[in-house]
Amino acid sequence: MANESSVLAHQAGKIAAKLPGGNSLARSVELLVAWGRANSLWPLLYGTSCCAIEMMATGASRHDWARFGVEVARASARQADLIILAGTVVEKMAKNLITLYEQMPAPKYVIAMGSCTISGGPFYYDSYAVVKGADRIVPVDVHIPGCPPRPEALFYGIMQLQEKIKKEGREIPWEIGELVNSPFLDTFTATEKEWATLEEKKDQEMAEAREQFKRENPDYKPPRPIRLKKEKLPSPARRKPTAKGISNWSLLQTLQKKFPEITVHDHPDATPKQVAELGTDYDLDLVIPKELYREVVQYLKDEKELGLEMLLQLTCVDWKEYFDIVVHLLSVEGGHKVFLRCQVEKDEDGAEIETISDLYVGAEWHEREVYDMFGVRFTHHPDMRRIYLKNDFPGHPLCKDFEDPTRVIKRPY
Ligand code: SF4
């Protein structure tokens, strides 16, 4: 609609320009419209990571972007004419961001806030999921560098955009900018070289300055540094940690009575007595054969005496030859915890193991994450599909052998 009104204003301006004094009138109206547009920006609510906190601070009472005419942040793209990209843009979100941009009525503007949005920031190297610059997917009007930029920097960016909008009219009409589809640049190597040259120059200048000082002050003796004596402070009284819940050795004993195949990680022949000697700080870390995995987890959950009713984490480690599925359980009441690790052999399609999502509801998402990142399938899982990455993402990025030169730039050191 706004686009149509721009066309109408353009046509009206053309007609008015033919009348005596009409050109001045049309230009005045244009200036008025541009001034109004620049000072009544309606930003879309869009913040994806830490930069968004700074953006929120910019809108809050201390800084208050309403003073700059940027007000009424909208929850709908159809009511917004500015999108401030505050935070990391990931590939999965890229499509939705383009949709939001397309839904905004024209004339519309984009501010890229922070280094993540501008270039991928700290995720430029070794990242399989971060878009290396928002201007690859939507046209950006203003870039605000920083990690994160302060509210003052965002204000400056907004003011730059306002200056740009105020110049728009018949002679400089609003138009959708170009996408910057530049190839990946290895900025690190270039900057490293530049800095090395500067450092060399600085060292040389310093050496020359030192020589000159020595020539001009032959009797100069540098003052001896005064060394402060280290204060002797009394050591604070430490409380001995009290063991809560079931002790490691007792838990191991109970488990080994039912499942003698279970061993302790890194201490395969350890007896419960030897585990007791490892102290209360030791986290019990057990190795479970794959065929007993589900049965052991079920036992730990159902056995009232053990009370391991909470799943803290389920994750995976890729050891190249095989995967370890790692489960971390906690007894909320007793406070004792246990790690379980289960070795899963790799097959052509990744690896496969039984689900425990029916035992611990939280495992459902953890297992989907492990599938997404490592390609381990959990049989009888109710919804075995990717959770973070796009459905057509090639491969599983946390596997040791994952390579994708089209999206991952290797860190040069
Ligand atoms: S630029 Fe820095 S502050 Fe902003 S989203 Fe990235 S990491 Fe966070």
Query: Any idea which of 175-184, 263-272, 277-286 has the lowest mean pLDDT?
Result: 175-184
CA atoms of 357 and 378, how far apart (whole Å): 9
Residue 241 pLDDT > 70 = no
Query: Any idea which of 180-194, 204-218, 379-393 has the lowest mean pLDDT?
Result: 180-194
Give the tens place of pLDDT for each residue, 222-232. Answer: 888 888 888 88
Residue 212 DSSP SS3: helix
Band (30; pLDDT cuts 50, 70, 90): confident
Q: Compute, in angstroms, the gap from residue 47 CA to the centroid of ligand 1.
A: 11
- Average pLDDT for 384-407: 89
Query: Any idea which of 12-21, 34-43, 288-297, 344-353 has the lowest mean pLDDT?
Result: 12-21
The CATH topology of domain 2-166 is Rossmann fold (3.40.50)
Residue 5 pLDDT > 60 = no
Give the tens place of pLDDT for each residue, 57-99. Answer: 999 999 999 999 898 889 999 999 999 999 999 988 999 999 9
Q: Yes or no: say if 144 and 152 are a contact pair by the CB < 8 Å rule.
A: no
Per CATH, the homologous superfamily of domain 248-379 is NADH:ubiquinone oxidoreductase Nqo5 subunit (3.30.460.80)
Question: CB count, 10 Å around CB of 331?
Answer: 19
242 vs 296, residue with greater confidence: 296
Q: What pLDDT is stored for residue 242 in this prediction?
A: 66
Band (1; pLDDT cuts 50, 70, 90): very low
Nearest-atom number in ligand 1 for the CA of 148 is 3
Give the tens place of pLDDT for each residue, 158-170. Answer: 999 999 999 998 8
Cis peptide before 107 (omega within 30 of 0): yes
Nearest Cα residue to 177 out of 134, 210, 209, 146:
134
Band (8; pLDDT cuts 50, 70, 90): low
Please, where in the chain does CATH 3.40.50.12280 lie?
2-166
Q: Is 114 in the pocket of ligand 1 (CB under 6 A)?
A: yes
Residue-wise DSSP of 342-397: EEEE-BTTBEEEE--TTT-TTHHHHHHHHHHHH-EEEET-TT-S-SSS-TT--S-T
Q: What is the average pLDDT value for the chain, to the nearest integer?
A: 90
Q: Is 49 in the pocket of ligand 1 (CB under 6 A)?
A: yes
Nearest Cα residue to 145 out of 177, 187, 95:
187
Q: What pLDDT is stored for residue 162 in this prediction?
A: 96
Please, where in the chain does CATH 3.30.460.80 lie?
248-379
Q: What pLDDT is stored for residue 208 in this prediction?
A: 97
Residue 178 pLDDT > 80 = yes
Provide the pairing of β-strand 337-345 with 285-288: parallel
Q: What pLDDT is stored for residue 338 in this prediction?
A: 94
Band (3; pLDDT cuts 50, 70, 90): low
Q: Compute, in angstroms, the gap from residue 116 CA to the centroid of ligand 1.
A: 5
Q: Is 292 in the pocket of ligand 1 (CB under 6 A)?
A: no
183 vs 26, residue with greater confidence: 26
Residue 22 pLDDT > 90 = no
Q: What pLDDT is stored for residue 196 in this prediction?
A: 94
Q: What pLDDT is stored for residue 220 in this prediction?
A: 92
Q: Which residue's alpha carbon is nearest to atom 6 within ligand 1?
A: 116
CA atoms of 227 and 230, how far apart (whole Å): 9
Mutation pick for ligand 1 pocket among 48, 88, 143 (CB with most ligand atoms within 8 Å): 88
Give the tens place of pLDDT for each residue, 34-63. Answer: 999 999 999 998 999 999 999 999 999 999
Band (315; pLDDT cuts 50, 70, 90): very high
Residue carrying the six token digits 């721009």: 6
CA atoms of 174 and 279, how far apart (whole Å): 71
Q: Compute, in angstroms, the gap from residue 174 CA to the centroid of ligand 1.
A: 30
Residue 13 pLDDT > 90 = no
